[in-house]
Chain A
Amino acid sequence: MKNSTFTRRHVLAGSSALALGGVFSTRVLSAAPPASATTPELIAAAKKEGQVVWYTSIDLKLSERIGKAFEAKYPGIACKVERSGAERLLQRISQEYASNVHAVDVVNSSDASLLVYWKQQGMLAPYVPEDVAKYYPAEHKDPDGTYASFRVFLCIIAYNTNLVKKEEAPKSFADLLDPKWKGKIVKAHPGYSGTILTATYQISRDIGWGYFEKLAQQNIMQVQSAADPPKKIALGERPIMADGVEYLIFAEKEAGQPVEPVYATEGTPLIIGPNGLFKAAPNPNAARLFQNFCFSPECQQLCIDVGGLRSVHPQAKEHPGRTPLSKIKLMKDDAAAVLQHGEEIKARYVKIFHV
């Protein structure tokens, strides 16, 4: 085993240009395999394998729900969900592959740059489900067919309606820096969460690092996963979250908890969570079946209705009661840039916030 192989800098040195080219390429460079539909042969082969192992950073309740929906549709095939923060998933998969342990079939990460990285390492298998080929817009799928946007969501500010009145609630990132919110904010960490890493990149690009330096003076409560702040504000531990996943706020609000999302006036970070299939997957047929399922309208609708996610499948309908994507000012995502600057962002954050 080579000890220092997995420094991103080595890999990035020659290939970031390639990544930029590859991600945003036109159809001329596309080398995607033909679209695959769900055939009875595929289902039979998947049943023989008996299980699919899915590593994901989607919040546990939703990821287990998706797994159970897959099991209900295809009885006889178990879906083993392994949930961990996106950056920890990277560590896990790197460790496992370095020791020749091939446990993972499909990976979903809230850090889109990781899928670019794994593709560069040659670990992903090109596979294009039928729905992706037919319906998905070009910016949400890899031209070489190794990944596509399974879920799309936002990283938002939110507040507890029992503790904060609507008129006083922050409406922008700049509002969060008001001294009245000192000691009242909870926030997650880019070193553990892909969502926060991506959001930190977008905010630092569009608003600047000065925002983070001032935010560090606000005595924030630092947690790890982006799935934690929504739970903390629902508990009433802090009244405001500076970042966190939108889909949990929806889930809590619709379950009657006193939380309310805020879409910052400067723009809201957009997080894309692609799905990718590994070449060395131990259950390749089950993995393919699972990929087909993931991108199907029914699974995407499940993600929206039950999960509070957004989908880029044109046939999936937005849930009533939630602000539609078209009405929200979004920041632009850039997976290749996150890949290139990821380490710097984490190091700078640790320096500013001391954890």
Chain B
Amino acid sequence: MTTLATGVLRAPRRIGFDASKPVLLFCAAVLCVLIVLPLSWLLYYAFTDKKGAFTLVNFPRLVTDTAYFDPLLTTFVLAIFSSIICCAVAAPMGWLVARTDMPLRRAVRLLVTASFVTPPFIGAIAWELLAAPNSGLLNQLYRDLTGAEAGSHLLNIYSFPGVVFVISCYTFPYVFVLVANALDRTPGDLEDASAILGASMPYTAWRVTIPLALPALVAGALVAFLEAMTQFGTPAILAMPAGFHTMTTKIWSLFQFPPKPDLAAAASLPLLVLTVVLLRAQHMVLGRRGYAVVGGKNSEPRLVQLGGYKWLALLLSLLVLMCPVFLPYFALLNASFSKLASHIVSFNNFTFQNIRFVFTELSATQIAIKNTFILGALAATLGTVLALVIGYVTARKAIVGHRILAFLASAPLAIPGIVLGVGLFFSYTRPPFVLYGTLWILLIAYITLSMPAAYQQMQSAFRAVHPELEDASRILGATQLRALWQITAPLLRTSVIATWCFIFVSVVRELSAAIMLFTSQTKVLSVLIYDLNESGDLAAIAVLGVFMMIITSAVVGLANAFPALGARRTG
């Protein structure tokens, strides 16, 4: 018996070549180059003056000059409020969708995906159409219903609360997805055990379910905070008419001709430091508690019976979804077909001229659509593979220096997309890699920017899968890579598909880096829409926004529909 066992153990080493280590090291190296290169340019510009000598003179200005300090403070407060609102809204909704018998759960999930698919700047423009103080549709309705006089309004989207509101609308899906996925994977036996021991439903939820979902919630809160902090599109559209800057719009203004990269680089370092602090805090909060719930033994999650409350829950969910989905898309569809965006479509107002303009007369449309979808698919595929490997490396501590990799994978979160765009611009416009003017520089930017979110997702997923399954496979002779490919990855199928879709959608809605790196031949849809907003062509934006939404929903819907690709066979 013993000889048989050793015979089985020894054979693979002689026959096969263990490609695990080189592949893992290669992926780690790619990640390093992707992130360290622009980061190093950032540090170079922050710490040197015009002649190239080391200096700290850029930093005091950030604190003393109100033109820089005010936006910093504004951004910080904005991110805190957004993060709180996102968690407060997304966590209960995630629980309702994943763990209760609320009706139309799948529809609600789908609608949250729809709100994630919507680029935030489209949402901002749609909310402009709805809540601009004088021409906004909702304000017009308010004046009609209450008979208020012409100058008054109920909502003013051009304000700080307006910006917080719109950012929260389009950031809460991040938290929702993470929480819902985590709760999906929690098997029912833990809660069954709690019920058997006499705990009531709320007590079980508080002591068992929530702690199990905690890593996802904390990860989600972190992502929401940093996403809100580094958003460019929404503040660029809503904050300027309101008369204030956020850090990202300030940095953008520093690149107006002639550019001041040193100040911009210095301005983004506080954001980077903040990420490090938050990541450490996340590590301390989660501590060393094990969160593995998918072990060798598994069972279906038990749904909580809500009884009469389920219709109330559904109503509340739909009310929440009005803000990111129903109202904005109504406004966009209205603007697409109406002669004037502030008038509701009616028989004498209806026109196809906007659609005709966008698709036949606007010469940049075709090229923008083509570029966006090519880049989206490529970035999603490459990014998912990279996130999978890096997530594995850090969760299983597979190579030396995995902690540094974990930091690198999350670091781009704190770099505003626009500053990363600048770092990439300076990195790839000089020999040996002259990539400016090609799609490659945009591809690199997209993969780098979506890496943190993808990595967080894969990491949450890995944490939930206990190593014992892979260990079993390794004991039976598989290499590390084979165990990853044949055992772990299929278990993570839903997460892998979700990550692919995540990255694809992130690419389509990415504006802040693209705006630095595009040229007329490599224009993407987000930049086209930003240009159209600069000149006030709201109808064209509405048409493009609806179009983007339709195509991205189709792609995401397809990915989720096939069981082979990861749709759950139940529910």
Contact = CB atoms under 8 A, between A and B. Distances in A.
A236 B135 contact: yes
B534 A221 contact: no
Interface stretch (A200-208, A224-232, A289-297): A224-232
A81 B367 CA distance: 12
Interface residues of B, number: 46
Contact of A81 (B50, B257, B364, B535): B364
Contacts of A65: 361
Contacts of A163: 150
A80 B132 contact: no
Given A1-B430, A81-B363, A87 B257 contact: yes
B361 A68 contact: yes
A85 B437 CA distance: 20
B342 interface: yes
Contacts of A84: 531, 534
A111 to B, nearest CB: 11
Interface in A1-21: 1, 3-4, 6-8
A55 B536 contact: no
Given A53-B520, A91-B257, A225 B243 contact: no
Interface in A187-207: 189, 191-192
Contact of B253 (A90, A191, A231): A191
Given A80-B520, A235-B341, A192 B534 contact: yes
Interface string B422-446: 0001100110001011000000000
> Chain A, interface size: which category?
35 or more
A245 B261 CA distance: 32
Interface in A79-104: 79-85, 87-88, 90-92, 94-96, 98-101, 103-104
A235 B132 CA distance: 10
Interface string A154-192: 000000000100000000000000000000000001011
A18 to B, nearest CB: 20
Contact of B532 (A60, A68, A192): A60
A297 B342 CA distance: 37
Interface SS of chain B: loop
B132 A237 contact: yes
A192 B253 CA distance: 10
List of 6 A-B pairs having minimum Cβ-Cβ separation, nearest first: A231-B536, A228-B536, A101-B437, A237-B135, A227-B535, A235-B135
30 contacts: A1-B429, A8-B258, A55-B520, A59-B535, A60-B532, A61-B537, A64-B357, A64-B362, A80-B363, A82-B520, A83-B535, A87-B256, A87-B257, A90-B257, A95-B436, A96-B437, A99-B437, A101-B519, A104-B520, A191-B253, A191-B256, A192-B256, A222-B243, A225-B534, A225-B535, A228-B535, A230-B536, A231-B536, A238-B134, A353-B243
Interface of B: 50, 67, 132-135, 150, 158, 240-241, 243-245, 253, 255-259, 261, 340-342, 357, 361-364, 425-426, 429-430, 434, 436-437, 519-521, 531-532, 534-538, 540
Interface of A: 1, 3-4, 6-8, 53, 55, 59-61, 64-65, 67-68, 78-85, 87-88, 90-92, 94-96, 98-101, 103-104, 163, 189, 191-192, 221-225, 227-228, 230-232, 234-238, 257, 343, 346, 350, 353-355
Given A83-B535, A99-B436, A104-B520, 15 more contacts: A6-B258, A8-B257, A60-B535, A60-B537, A64-B361, A79-B363, A84-B534, A87-B257, A163-B150, A225-B535, A228-B535, A235-B135, A237-B133, A257-B340, A355-B240
